[in-house]
């Protein structure tokens, strides 16, 4: 009799959960269908336009996220990395819907981006499944708590800045993107639960970088007619750091015996990305790539001593010969050599490089003064940093008195010593965890993914020491890289969500 009662209770519980899930998904689907129908009516009345087509693509992506929340992770990284504010200012994904140049411009007061909508929808779709089942299977991993501690201090810096007279709009522009990091860490850790999902994610990243480079190639040969020296750079500053991951990925699939498909397709993409990468003219990207290659070779030395001696000495000889030949070259192919010269022999660097270095030197002096004036709390987001030495006027950049090139010390200056220490601990934990995983992995596609994730984190924070790095695309990418490292130990054991 008791068994019959329990069976009846379980049956009612299952039906109740199915009904709740059905109501939830029906409501979400109805909302999306209503919005899609509205867009179709607008198109029928006004005729087809690129804006409407973009909105339809956006809606299709939203439906895909509701069907499978992990698709949201794919789409966020794909659309996020493909756009470039310099090359494609109309590309809407990371821009607010208040940006007049965006395809998704709606209203001056609508300060939300399509990327944030996808992040929110992905989170709701993921949590909705667990709410329907009345159980939450949340995976924290070793990096969740360090990231949470870091974002807690960032939140403190935001609130402290506003409460001490900071400009709310500027504070939002300064710190908003940093919150993408823990969001992507959590989403990747909990949605990329199988190795095949991680491999798919890497393909979305590679394809996005290739498409961004195609737009760069068009700009170089059509807009600039091949003269890259007529501009200081053709893309956003962080774009070159993102491209670094492609070069590392390409090298790693050969060194670590990646799949045949990758060995064939990646070299075909290389010329396009390499041309745009050089044209980007980012010294920090060249140097961070060199450091990342050195780390890769150190890991290779431990994992495959014989292969290390076959590869590294010839590469070292070629690098020395390259520096010797192009040390005084002013052409595009000599740009990496000029980046090295600016570091090891700054007196011989170009006038433009010396001017840039002088600006950073003055800026670092002001950062140092500001930190010593407010070591515990920082000045908070939305407040200007203190200037004891006037900076050259670059007021064309609206936030020049708030955001500095040294993005590492900028965290201390804005969120106090707690934010700085939490950041160092989070980054250190991510690198340590990734290296620990690599030590125990066989050479295959997954070891390539983990290796590139670790090296991207290294490159990003090296770059952050000399340039503005807390932008939307980079925070999304860093969070995803940390998520891959964070969740690797459970990738094979989790069932599909």
Chain segment 208-227, per-residue pLDDT in tens:
999 999 998 888 888 877 67
Judge whether 127 lies within some domain. no
Same domain? For 270 and 414 the reply is yes
Instruction: For residues 90 and 221, state if they share a domain.
Output: no
Where a domain ends, among 115, 150, 179?
115
Residue that finishes a domain, picked among 115, 149, 175: 115
Same domain, 145 and 210: yes
**At residue 5, does pLDDT exceed 50?**
no
In a domain, 216, yes or no: yes
Domain-located, residue 104: yes
Q: Does residue 208 share a domain with residue 106?
A: no
In whole angstroms, give the CA distance from residue 223 to residue 86: 13
Give the mean model confidence (pLDDT) for residues 127-134: 76
Q: Is the pLDDT score of 229 beyond 70?
A: no
Rounded CA-CA distance 433/442 in Å is: 16
For 310, list phi and psi in degrees, rounded to 5.
Answer: -80, -30
Asked if the structure places residue 152 within a domain, the reply is yes
> pLDDT band at residue 230, thresholds of 50, 70 and 90?
low
Q: Rg for the chain (alpha carbons), in Å? A: 24
14 contacts: CB under 8 Å, gap ≥ 6: none
For the segment 84-99, the average pLDDT, to the nearest whole number, is 86
* Any domain includes 134: no
DSSP at 222? I
The stretch 98-120 carries a mean pLDDT of 88
Query: Is 120 part of any domain?
Result: no
Give me the mean pLDDT over the 328-356 stretch. Answer: 66
Is 398 inside any structural domain?
yes
Q: Which of the two residues, 462 and 49, has the higher pLDDT score?
A: 462
Residue 290 shares a structural domain with residue 358? yes
Rounded to 10°, the helix 445-464/407-439 angle is 160
* CB burial of residue 484 (10 Å; 0-12, 13-18, 19+): buried
Q: Work out how many domains the chain is built from and give that number.
A: 2
Same domain flag for 339 and 444 = yes
Same domain, 196 and 282: yes
Residues 106 and 167 in one domain: no
Q: How confident is the model at residue 2 (pLDDT cuts 50, 70, 90)?
A: very low
* Coil/strand/helix, residue 106: coil
What is the C-alpha to C-alpha distance for residues 367 and 386, in angstroms, rounded to an integer?
A: 7
Q: Examine the domain organization and report whether 244 and 182 are in the same domain.
A: yes
CA dihedral of residues 193, 196, 197, 198 (deg, nearest 10): 90
88 and 174 in a single domain? The answer is no
> Residue 105: which of 55, 60, 169 has the closest Cα?
55
Task: Please report how many Cα atoms fall inside a 13 Å half-sphere around the Cα of residue 88, on the Cβ side.
Answer: 21
User: Do 163 and 201 belong to one domain?
Assistant: yes
Mean pLDDT, rounded, of the chain = 84
Decide if 283 is inside a domain: yes
Q: Are residues 348 and 440 in the same domain?
A: yes
Q: Which of 81, 115, 149 is the last residue of a domain?
A: 115
Residue-number span of the structural domain to which 178 is assigned: 140-490
């Amino acid at each position: 009799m008791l068994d019959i009662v329990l069976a009846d209770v379980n049956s009612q519980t299952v039906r109740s959960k199915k009904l709740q899930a059905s109501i939830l998904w029906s409501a979400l689907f109805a909302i999306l269908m209503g919005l899609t129908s509205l867009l179709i009516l607008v198109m029928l009345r006004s005729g087809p336009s690129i804006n409407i087509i973009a909105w339809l693509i956006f809606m299709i992506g939203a439906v895909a996220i509701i069907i499978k929340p992990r698709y949201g992770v794919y789409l966020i990284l794909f659309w996020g990395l493909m756009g470039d504010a310099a090359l494609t200012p109309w590309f809407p994904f990371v821009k607010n819907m208040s940006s007049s140049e965006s395809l998704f411009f709606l209203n001056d007061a609508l300060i939300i981006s399509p990327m944030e909508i996808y992040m929110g929808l992905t989170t709701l779709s993921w949590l909705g499944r667990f709410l329907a089942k009345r159980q939450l299977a949340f995976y924290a991993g070793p990096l969740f708590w360090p990231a949470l501690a870091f974002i807690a201090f960032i939140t403190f810096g935001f609130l402290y800045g506003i409460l001490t007279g900071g400009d709310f709009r500027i504070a939002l522009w300064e710190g908003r993107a940093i919150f993408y990091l823990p969001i992507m860490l959590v989403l990747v850790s909990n949605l990329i639960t199988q190795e095949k999902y991680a491999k798919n994610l890497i393909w979305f990243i590679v394809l996005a970088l290739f498409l961004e480079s195609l737009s760069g190639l068009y700009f170089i040969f059509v807009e600039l007619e091949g003269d890259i020296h007529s501009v200081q750079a053709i893309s956003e500053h962080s774009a070159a750091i993102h491209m670094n991951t492609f070069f590392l990925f390409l090298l790693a699939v050969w060194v670590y015996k990646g799949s045949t498909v990758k060995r064939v397709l990646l070299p075909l993409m290389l010329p396009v990305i390499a041309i745009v990468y050089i044209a980007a003219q980012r010294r920090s990207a060249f140097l961070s790539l060199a450091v990342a290659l050195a780390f890769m070779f150190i890991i290779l030395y431990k994992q495959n001593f014989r292969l290390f001696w076959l590869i590294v000495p010839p590469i070292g000889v070629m690098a020395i010969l390259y520096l010797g030949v192009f040390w005084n070259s002013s052409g595009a192919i000599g740009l990496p050599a000029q980046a090295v010269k600016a570091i090891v022999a700054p007196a011989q660097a170009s006038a433009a490089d010396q001017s840039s270095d002088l600006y950073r030197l003055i800026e670092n002096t002001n950062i140092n003064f500001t930190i010593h004036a407010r070591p515990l709390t920082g000045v908070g987001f939305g407040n200007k940093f203190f200037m004891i030495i006037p900076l050259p006027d670059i007021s064309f950049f609206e936030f020049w008195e708030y955001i500095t090139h040294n993005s590492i010390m900028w965290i201390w200056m804005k969120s106090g010593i707690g934010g700085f220490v939490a950041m160092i601990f989070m980054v250190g934990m991510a690198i340590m965890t990734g290296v620990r995983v690599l030590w125990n992995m066989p050479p295959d596609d997954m070891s390539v993914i983990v290796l590139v994730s670790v090296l991207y984190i290294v490159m990003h924070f090296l770059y952050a020491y000399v340039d503005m790095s807390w932008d939307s695309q980079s925070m999304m990418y860093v969070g995803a890289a940390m998520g891959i490292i964070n969740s690797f130990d459970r990738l094979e054991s989790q069932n599909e969500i």
